[in-house]
Chain A
Amino acid sequence: MNRPLSRPLVGFLALALLGSVVIWDAARTGLPEPFRTPAPFALGSGAAPEGAHCTGS
Chain B
Amino acid sequence: MLARRVGLALAGLALVAGVTLAAGPRAGLLVGLGIGFGLVLEGLRFGFAGPWRMMIVERDARGLLAQLLAIAITAAVAFPLLAAAPGELQAAHAPVGLAMIGGAFVFGAAMQVVMGCGSGTLVNAGSGNLIGLVALVGFVAGSFLGTLHLGWWTGLGSLPVISAQSVAGAQGGLGLTLAALVLVAAFLAWRAAPGKRLPAARLWWAAGLIAALAVLNLIIAGQPWGIVYGLGLWGAKVAQAGGADLAANAFWAAPGNAARLDASILTDVTSLTNIGLLVGAFLVMRGRAVPGAPVTPLAARGWVGVLLAGLVLGYSARLAFGCNVGAFFSGISTGSLHGWVWFAAAFAGSAWGLKLRPLVLVPAVRQEGVAA
Residues in A lying within 8 Å of B, measured CB to CB: 1-11, 13-15, 17-18, 21-22, 25-26, 28-32, 34, 37-57
- Chain B residue, CB-CB nearest to A24: B241
Name the 5 nearest CB pairs between A and B, nearest first: A37-B24, A7-B128, A42-B222, A49-B222, A54-B326
- Do B23 and A31 have beta carbons less than 8 Å apart? yes
A43-B88, A53-B90, A56-B229 known; A5+B303 contact, CB < 8 A: no
- Do B294 and A32 have beta carbons less than 8 Å apart? no
Residues in B lying within 8 Å of A, measured CB to CB: 22-27, 29, 81, 85, 87-90, 92-94, 125-130, 132-133, 136, 150, 154, 218-224, 226-229, 233-234, 237-238, 241, 251, 256-257, 260, 262-270, 275, 278-279, 282, 285-286, 291-298, 300, 303, 317-318, 321-323, 325-327, 330-331, 336, 338, 364-365
Which of A14, A40, A41, A52 meets B278, CB within 8 Å?
A: A14
- Do A32 and B266 have beta carbons less than 8 Å apart? yes
What are 15 A-B pairs at a CB distance below 8 A? A2-B365, A6-B128, A10-B125, A11-B127, A15-B279, A17-B133, A30-B264, A32-B22, A39-B26, A40-B26, A43-B85, A43-B220, A43-B222, A45-B88, A48-B222
A2 and B150 CA atoms in complex are apart in Å by 38
- Do B93 and A55 have beta carbons less than 8 Å apart? yes
- Do A54 and B291 have beta carbons less than 8 Å apart? no
Chain B neighbourhood of A9, CB < 8 A: 128
- Do A1 and B269 have beta carbons less than 8 Å apart? no
Chain B neighbourhood of A1, CB < 8 A: 297-298, 300, 303, 364
A22 and B87 CA atoms in complex are apart in Å by 31
Q: Please report whether the interface of chain B is mostly helix, strand, loop or mixed according to DSSP.
A: helix
- Do A5 and B92 have beta carbons less than 8 Å apart? no
Which of B90, B229, B278 meets A49, CB within 8 Å?
A: B90
- Chain B residue, CB-CB nearest to A28: B241
Chain B neighbourhood of A14, CB < 8 A: 125-126, 128, 132-133, 136, 278, 282
A12 and B251 CA atoms in complex are apart in Å by 34
Chain A neighbourhood of B229, CB < 8 A: 52-54, 56
Chain A neighbourhood of B136, CB < 8 A: 14
- Chain B residue, CB-CB nearest to A11: B128
Chain B neighbourhood of A45, CB < 8 A: 88, 222
| Known A31-B264, A37-B27; 5 more pairs at CB < 8 Å | A2-B364, A7-B285, A53-B90, A53-B223, A55-B93
A12 and B88 CA atoms in complex are apart in Å by 38
Closest CB in chain A relative to B144 CB, distance in Å: 13
- Among A26, A28, A38, A47, the one with the most B-chain Cβ atoms within 10 Å of its Cβ is A38
- Do A55 and B296 have beta carbons less than 8 Å apart? no
- Do B264 and A10 have beta carbons less than 8 Å apart? no
- Do A55 and B221 have beta carbons less than 8 Å apart? no
- Chain A residue, CB-CB nearest to B261: A29
- Do A49 and B89 have beta carbons less than 8 Å apart? yes
Chain B neighbourhood of A37, CB < 8 A: 23-27
A2 and B321 CA atoms in complex are apart in Å by 37
A52 and B321 CA atoms in complex are apart in Å by 12
Which of A11, A34, A40, A50 meets B286, CB within 8 Å?
A: A11
Which of A7, A41, A52 meets B256, CB within 8 Å?
A: A52
A45 and B89 CA atoms in complex are apart in Å by 10
A44 and B347 CA atoms in complex are apart in Å by 38
- Chain B residue, CB-CB nearest to A30: B264
Closest CB in chain B relative to A31 CB, distance in Å: 5
Chain B neighbourhood of A25, CB < 8 A: 237, 264-265
